[in-house]
Amino acid sequence: MDPFLVGAAAWLLQQAAGKVFDLAVNSLFGSMGFAHSTPPPNSPSAPPPLTRGGVQSLLDQYVQRLEKGIKQVATKLDEDRLALLKGALSQLKNAHRTVIKSTFLAQALNAFNTTAHLPEHGMTGKWHNAELRCVAFLGMAAAHAELNDPSQLIAENLIAAIQADSSTAEQWLGTMVVQAILQAHPFLQSQRGSPFPLSWGQLKFDSSVKQVFPTVDEDIDWGGRMAQTYEKRTRTYTLISRQKGTNRGFVGYSPKQHGLILPSFRDFAVQVEMTFPYSRASSGGILFRTELKTDNLSTRQELNLRSQEQGYYFSISNDGSYALDFYQMIWAYVGMRDDQWFEVSQSGDPNTLPGYSEEMKVTHLAQGGITVIAGTSLQLGCVVQGRNLDVYAYGQRLTQVADNLRSEGAVGIVAGSYENSFVSEVQFRNFQLWTR
């Protein structure tokens, strides 16, 4: 766990002889509607017993809300996420009623732990991931307390819940407890919304609120090489690349416009939730500071086209690797204007054209390993400031690279690889971009 969280948890146990910690545990169990009869080991003072009253507990309210949310979601992934948390809360509630209490609590802990590792940002159905993660951490704190686990472990989960979503934590722990902790450790509140640096200004694009990428009513298929789809109900954008190279979706681009005129960004922070729906080899990620330029030197008798694209590609592959590369792609066609050009260009396969050439250069800036599970979303992002390029996954910075090959350009999402030939299918949700 983050050493700052561990330190804050230690402070919580020491503050006023542990009374703030006792009050937090007391309030948590009160919100759950059942008594905590045994004090956590090494607790300076045991919280007084709590008894369930006639008022519906906050835990019961959440179980009912999650049940309703499960019926309303449009994707299996969201349904599974909500059902997992609902089941864990139900196990926590009913554990004291069975002779296999420890088994119930162990199963609940596993489910809570999975929910706690959802992407920090974005939505699951109509729920903010931050709220779901907060409730999961609180569930872990309660389960550890019921199992008489060390107080430090309980306190760490209480602190993690506050960092995930302090407003939700206040409902369970009380305003006085949460504000006392935030006053002593303000970094919990300042960092809980994003792993990125502070003061990024306005949120420029947010796909959970407004459409960011092209709305595609039907598959766009260029000679069978690539396809794009957009699911309006879930705001999920799917890219498929079936050859060496990539299929991209750029911020601000509309396929209905003539030409490719893209907004250019210099310094920014960007993040997106990405999923590989299948276990087969696939790559995807974020393009940034990308420039596309075409020189048309054609005459009435001869076509002479030269296009160049260059930029940075932060990619993740489901073989468990990530990379940050600078790529340069140049392709050209020189030939007579004839029926063959127009026929082949419409098919979308320029490699069959006489006079067509293509050149690709990739410079590897950073690479490493990362955990990737097919069908499970992961959150990736970039912070780009001057020549400093930081890349993130799961809310943690993977690496920082200093490079000044490009200072600005377009930003987009991508499926595929510039170096390997395999079918890549990638789903994207909850895209956000901040600029200054």
Contacts of 270 (CB under 8 A, 6+ apart): 286, 288, 381, 382, 384, 411, 431, 432, 433, 434
pTM of the predicted model as reported, rounded to 2 decimal places: 0.55
Residues 329 and 185 both lie in one domain: no
Last residue of a domain, one of 158, 191, 224: 191
Would 56 be classed as within a structural domain?
Answer: yes
The mean per-residue pLDDT over the stretch 230-255 comes to 67
Rounded-to-integer distance, Cα 267 and Cα 198, Å: 13
Summarize pLDDT for 278-325 with one digit per residue, the tens: 878 888 999 999 887 777 666 665 666 677 888 999 999 988 899 999
Rounded to whole angstroms, how far apart are CA atoms 138 and 129? 14
Looking up residue 295, the CATH number of its domain turns out to be: 2.60.120.560
Is residue 198 included in any domain, yes or no? no
Q: Work out the pLDDT band at 45, boundaries 50, 70, 90.
A: very low
Residue 107 vs residue 396, higher pLDDT: 107
Taking residues 237-265, report their average pLDDT.
60
The whole-chain average pLDDT of the chain stands at 78
Mean pLDDT of 395-424: 84
Domain end point (choices 128, 161, 191): 191
Name the domain count of the chain. 2
138 closest CA partner among 84, 67, 66, 59 = 59
Q: Cα–chain-centroid distance for residue 378?
A: 5
pLDDT tens for residues 204-220?
888 877 777 765 544 44
The pair phi, psi for residue 135, each rounded to 5°, is: -65, -35
The answer to the question of residue 423 being in a domain is yes
Q: What percent of the chain has pLDDT over 90?
A: 26
Residue 224 has pLDDT above 90, yes or no: no
Domain that holds residue 394: 203-435
Q: Are residues 185 and 260 in the same domain?
A: no
Q: What's residue 366's pLDDT? A: 93
216-219 long-range Cβ contacts below 8 angstroms, 24+ apart: 216/255
- Do 100 and 247 belong together in one domain? no
> Would you place residue 254 in the very low, low, confident or very high pLDDT band (cuts 50, 70, 90)?
very low
Confidence of residue 127 (pLDDT cuts 50, 70, 90): confident
